[in-house]
Amino acid sequence: MPKENRKRGKKHKKTQDPSQPSGDPIHENQNSEHHDQPSWIVSAQEPEDPHPEAPFGYVDPDVKAYFRTVDDQIRTWQQQRPYEEEDHTADLDPNEARRIFLVAALSEMTGKEKQLATDPDCSVVLERMAYSMDDFVRRVLLDSLSGSYEVLIKHRFASHVCQTLFTVSADTISRETKGIYPSVADSDDKGELRTLTCLILDICEELAPAFTSLVMDPFASHVLRALLLLLSPSGSTMSHKALSNMRSKKSSAWKARQGTMKSVFANNDGHHHVNSTRSVPKEFHDAAVKFVSILKSELDNNEVRALAGNKVASPLLQLILEVEADLGASSLSGSLMDRVLVGIITLCHENPDEQPEASDYLVTLLRDPTASHLLETMVSRCPDPAFTILWSTYFRGKLARLATHPVANFVVAKAAERLDPAQLKAALEELESAWNKVIGSARTGVLRAMIDRACILRVHEKDICQAVCNAFELFEPKDRSQLVPCVLVLKPLRECTEAAFTKHTSEDTQQRSKGDNMDNSKVQGALILQSLLRLNEPHCMVVTESITSLTTEDLISLSQNTISSRVIDVLFESETVPFKVKRTLVMSLIGHYHTLVDDRIGSRVGDRCWAFADPYLREKIARSLLTHEQFLAASYFGKFFARNINLYLLQRRPDEWRELQSQRKSGSGSITAIHPAASVTPQKPNSEDAEVSPSSKKSKKRRNRPEDEIDAVFNSSLGAKVKRNAVNVTSSSDKSIVEKSVDQSLQDVLGAIRAAPSDDCGRGKRQKR
């Protein structure tokens, strides 16, 4: 059939024959209703479901462009360094100009808070502005989001906005607890604004019905962690591990790319520090208890245990267990801690003498990369009777395998922090034959934890030192001098000896051997040495004797390494290391300090040695550097050390230098020594600088004239004043010293004038010679 030629215009619908029934009563009713209504009435369409990425609508492109400029400006202010000068030529104060800018941005944000929070570009702008908001603005912003927090915290971008708001609200709530409220202007057209404490409590009430479902949500989980930290800011929940679980690694990396976030009105380091000792209202503790009760009532034992292996829920469950332990509810039968520990706490109450069988569930937690973090929390926070059963059932007799396991060794190290003297003694005997495997696998957390525990209890320190020596094959007393080189590279004596034996074969091998000893230092080895230095005096000497037996070259290499130099720091900080050992170390470097401080790390170690030395020892160090003064002046790092010791004053006026060092040592000398950049005392000018003087600005005719006695008097006195004022003055007593020296110099000059023979030239015009 030929194709029909369709014409423009309205399509004609096919009419149904009225003699044929449609068979659809609903359709017939709709048609009858449509025919009954007038033709100009259009039936309303069903509203479409909101897009999951923009549940509150999309942001207008012009508004988004405006907030993009706001983000650029605030980022510029936040990345500005404290010493960068502001433009003081403007009429407004810099802080006032910034305040006006933020007020304009906040006015533009009014009514669009939810849309901006869910926008991928504008959400980070709200996070950046939250750090610069005052208490009143934070209350307004949190109040504008009320009623939608369940949707917001499950959103990909708005969840981070809520998390940031909860984090910065800690300071505001602390001020409200003390009765400090911002002044609010009276307004008749708006209602009463709730305090931030009431807003947080209302948010908890809003999230309580859906709390168990939010625990498993990938975006809401980290917001709930921030909320729990706000409700219960105890010392354990504010630990480094709890704070590190606030964001995932991917989220932390993304936020790091956004630059520093801090208040544009305060000079801080860019990190929001929450005080763990801040006071919170009693209602916050009740809200935290309610969250724990909801999880206990709505989840059974198996569901709670299933959260341990979930990557999203496990960090939140750790924090909830911390909150439960801080509230004192973890020791009760049927608590969340009891459920995860498979009824061990209930067993302690009912039959404490019974030894339960090992549960496959907890054995699995020991070796699971995700759940092992939860087991670390339970091991450190469970009651003492429960820990005793846990240690004897799951750790004792299996330490040789667990200490070398890539995951379980972290749990064993955490458990070692709670051992009593008897348990520590048994653990050392059990691991006696496994220390070489521990060192070979570079999993030294268990060894370091046991050293720290022995240091706290002050027991079995001799056994600990013997275990370390056996682990590195230092069986003979004469071999213990090699303890530091072996521990730093985590190699037994045999391997270090082989490297030293091949040291003389070639120059390249010698460089490789030296690199193995110092440049390849391991963090684990340095931490072991630092823990050993905190033992009591007879036992910490095994490390100090090894350090003092090193050659000067090796000692300087150790001090200039970023990892091994921390061992020298702890040697000076430890109260158990004898004073004589510290003094011997400082004296062994005399004559080599110019080489030591010619390095970024070595200069810091040199400052620490200088801060420890007494005035007599300081003079010996300073006089040994007089011949290397030009070397220090040319060194990028050594010049700061030279300024700190003030060689020029020592050369010219030794008595004043000694008095100045005595005052620094008795006062705040250690702080000055550690921060040499604060000293602005210049060094002695060299011969080329000495030729440049104020007289060089004279005309050539004046410069070519010979100098007479009057010029000599004024030039010498002026030069003396300039040099004396260059001395670093740190107190009023130092100022008096400088004034006395200047007066004495002027008297010497005047005496020289009186004794000098008179010239034929009198006053008036000078005669050319």
DSSP assignment of 40-97 equals T--PPPPPPPPBTTBTT-PPPHHHHHHHHHHHHHHHHHHT--TTSPP-TTSSS-HHHH
- Percent of the chain predicted with pLDDT > 70: 71
- Look at residue 712 and tell me if it is in a domain: no
Q: Is residue 132 part of a domain?
A: yes
Please give the structure tokens belonging to residue 638: 């050594």
The per-residue pLDDT for 138 is 93
User: Quick check: 52 pLDDT over 80?
Assistant: no
Mean pLDDT for all residues in the chain: 79
The token pair at 723 is 């040099």
- Residue 27: pLDDT above 60? no
CA distance 558 to 562: 9
Model pLDDT, residue 750: 44
What separation in angstroms does the CA of 206 have from each of 150, 298, 372, 401, 705? Answer: 7, 17, 32, 48, 92
3-state secondary structure 13-39: CCCCCCCCCCCCHHHHHHHHHHHHCCC
Residue 641 lies in a domain: no
Instruction: Write down the pLDDT at residue 288.
Output: 93
Residue 193 lies in a domain: yes
pLDDT of amino acid 486: 93
Considering only 277-281, 365-369, 517-521, 703-707, which range has the smallest mean pLDDT? 703-707
Residue 9 has pLDDT above 50, yes or no: no
Q: Does position 143 have pLDDT exceeding 80, yes or no?
A: yes
Question: What is residue 235's predicted lDDT score, i.e. its pLDDT?
Answer: 56
323: pLDDT strictly greater than 50: yes
DSSP for 434-446?
THHHHHHTT--HH
Cβ pair 167, 143 in contact under 8 A: no
d(CA 635, CA 131): 42
Q: Domain total for the chain?
A: 1
Q: What is residue 509's predicted lDDT score, i.e. its pLDDT?
A: 43
Beta bridge partners of 51: 54
Flag whether 246 is in a domain. Answer: yes
- For 34, residues 6+ apart whose C-beta sits below 8 A from its C-beta are 43
Question: Is residue 538 over pLDDT 90?
Answer: no
- Distance (Å, whole) CA 589 – CA 592: 5
| CA 528, chain centre distance (Å) | 22
Domain containing residue 229: 61-82+91-263+277-298
Output the pLDDT for position 684: 41
Q: With bands split at pLDDT 50, 70 and 90, how would you rate the model's confidence at 517?
A: low
What is the Cα–Cα distance from 579 to 424, expressed in whole angstroms?
Answer: 30
In this predicted model, what pLDDT tens digit does every residue of 654-674 receive, in sequence order? Answer: 999 999 988 887 764 443 333
pLDDT tens string 241-256: 555 566 677 777 767 7
pLDDT for 683: 40
Of residues 347 and 674, which shows the higher confidence score? 347
Summarize the confidence of residues 306-317 as an average pLDDT: 92
Confidence at residue 265, expressed as pLDDT on a 0 to 100 scale: 82
Residue 178 lies in a domain: yes
Question: 142 Cβ partners below 8 Å, 6+ apart?
Answer: 165, 169, 196, 199, 200, 203
Checking if the pLDDT of 152 tops 70, the result is: yes
Give the mean model confidence (pLDDT) for residues 622-636.
Answer: 93
Positions of E strands within 567-643:
none
CA–CA separation, 703 and 92 (whole Å): 50
Residue with the two structure tokens 């030929």: 2
- The whole-number pLDDT of residue 738 equals 40
Please give the pLDDT value at position 522: 92
Count of CB atoms situated within 10 Å of the CB of 631: 15
- In this structure, is residue 461 part of a structural domain? no
Pick from 57-61, 102-106, 259-263, 485-489: least confident: 259-263
Q: What is the pLDDT of residues 254-284, one digit of tens each?
A: 677 777 778 888 554 444 444 555 778 889 9
In 307-444, which ranges are E strands? none
**What pLDDT is stored for residue 198 in this prediction?**
95
Q: Which residue blocks in 218-278 are alpha helix, DSSP H?
A: 220-231, 240-244, 249-257
State how far Cα 436 lies from the chain centre.
34
Place of tokens 């929450």: 274
Which stretch of 10-19, 136-145, 477-486, 603-612 has the lowest confidence by average pLDDT? 10-19
Q: Does residue 26 surpass a pLDDT of 90?
A: no
Which range (190-199, 319-328, 497-506) has the least confidence? 497-506
pLDDT of residue 518: 60
Please indicate, yes or no, if residue 170 is contained in any of the structural domains. yes
Distance of CA 245 to CAs 222, 237, 239, Å?
8, 11, 10
Mean pLDDT of the 54-80 span: 89
Choose the most confident range, by mean pLDDT, from 572-576, 718-722, 742-746: 572-576
Q: Does the pLDDT value for residue 165 go beyond 90?
A: yes
CA distances from 541 to 251, 285, 448, 480 (A): 46, 49, 17, 10
Highest mean pLDDT among 61-65, 693-697, 733-737: 61-65
Range with lowest mean pLDDT among 301-305, 539-543, 599-603, 739-743: 739-743
pLDDT of 305 over the 70 cut: yes
**Rounded distance between C-alpha atoms, residue 183 and residue 136, angstroms:** 8
Asked whether the predicted pLDDT for residue 28 surpasses 80, the reply is no
pLDDT at 182: 85
